[in-house]
Amino acid sequence: MKKILTVTLALAAVGWAQGAMAPITGSNEVGFSTVPATAGATQIITVPYVACLSENAEVMLADLVSTNGLVSHASDPSNADQLIVMVDISGDLRYYYYWLQSDVGWTGVETSVMHPDGTTSSVTPTAANAFAVARGKGFWLKRAATGGNAVYVKGEVSGTTPVTPAITTGLNLVGYGTAAAVNINDVTWSGANGGNGNTKTSDAIMVVESDGSLSHYYYFTAPDGWPAAYQELNGKWIKEDYSVANVTVPAGQGFWYLRRSAN
């Protein structure tokens, strides 16, 4: 009986010791983000994650966009979901097209490049499983006419901050490279051009809505002497009617940034 009591006491001691031990947290976090992507329409996707178990390496395109819920086809790219990526190749803008081929995955399609001298060349996309996409890079998802209304991007949450080139004058396909939704007015946009009070002269953000339409928002800098109501809008993103834009861009969704000035 004494032996049993000893064992019992030992077990109790162990249980007490276990109750006091702190949990062990894993070394990484992974996740997925849902981006609205209407069937038959086009959405802008961005990269909020890095590759899993990669020490913050860029994720491969084939690994980033989950094929769950997407439309594939055995042979016809026009009847499948597509990814279209703008790529800078030695200073030239080129388009990489990929389509979701049944039982194969993201498959590249050659793009014909028309040159002003009448000649034609071609661009062959890097294989999707070898195409590293930088965190925050924006690209298109073109939905087939059939299928669901959402796309999932996935990967590992990064603990580092990537440094990226400046936004230049003109159109930029951008994204917020973290695994969190962003309200554009919760960000301090140092250097944004607010124009002269006219939305036609200010920087603009264009976001694809869940129905596939494009909404425009403008950065506002209140001109001197304008009424107080406009001063309250200073430094905010607004809509065309001069109301404050309350728009949250889901993690994984990108948008256009139109920069009006090089300043």
Partner 1 sequence: MKKSISLLTMLLIGMTSVAAGLSQLTLSISTQGADYYADGTPVLVGERYLLVYVNQGATFAGIKADGTLVDPEANKIVTDARAVEGAKCGFKAIQYPPEMYPAGGSFLIVLLDTRDNAGAVGGLVAQLGTSAAAQAAAGDSTALPAIQVASTSGGVPALVTDTISARPAVVAKPVITSIKGQGESVEIKVGNVSADALYEVQSSSDLSAGSWIPAAGGTRLQLLTAGGDEVPATLTVPAGDKVRFFRVVVPNSK
Computed on alpha carbons and rounded to an integer, the radius of gyration of the chain in Å comes to: 25
Residue selected from 50, 70, 138, 251 as contacting partner 1 according to rule CB under 8 A = 138
| Residue closer to partner 1 (CB basis): 30 or 86 | 86
Residue selected from 19, 165, 225, 227 as contacting partner 1 according to rule CB under 8 A = 165
For Cα atoms 177, 190, 57, give the angle at the middle one, nearest 5 degrees.
Answer: 20
Name the helix (H) or strand (E) containing 60: strand 59-60
Site for partner 1 in 175-214 (CB under 8 A): 175-178, 182, 186-192, 206, 214
| Residue closer to partner 1 (CB basis): 4 or 163 | 163
127 lies in the site for partner 1, by CB under 8 A: no
73 with 91: CB under 8 angstroms? no
Q: Pick the stretch among 15-23, 61-69, 137-145, 194-202 that binds partner 1 (CB under 8 A).
A: 137-145
71 with 99: CB under 8 angstroms? no
DSSP label at 63?
A: H
39 lies in the site for partner 1, by CB under 8 A: no
DSSP label at 259?
A: E
3-class DSSP state of 14: helix
232 with 179: CB under 8 angstroms? no
Q: Pick the stretch among 24-32, 61-69, 79-87, 226-234 that binds partner 1 (CB under 8 A).
A: 79-87
3-class DSSP state of 57: coil
How many residues bind to partner 1 according to rule CB under 8 A? 66
Residue selected from 170, 200, 243, 248 as contacting partner 1 according to rule CB under 8 A = 170
Residue selected from 93, 130, 228, 229 as contacting partner 1 according to rule CB under 8 A = 93
Distance of CA 216 to the CA centre of its chain: 18
95 lies in the site for partner 1, by CB under 8 A: yes
Report the DSSP beta bridge partners of residue 99.
82, 107
Residues binding partner 1 (CB under 8 A): 42, 46-47, 75-78, 84-88, 92-95, 97, 99, 109-114, 116, 120, 123, 134-140, 142, 161-178, 182, 186-192, 206, 214, 256-257, 259
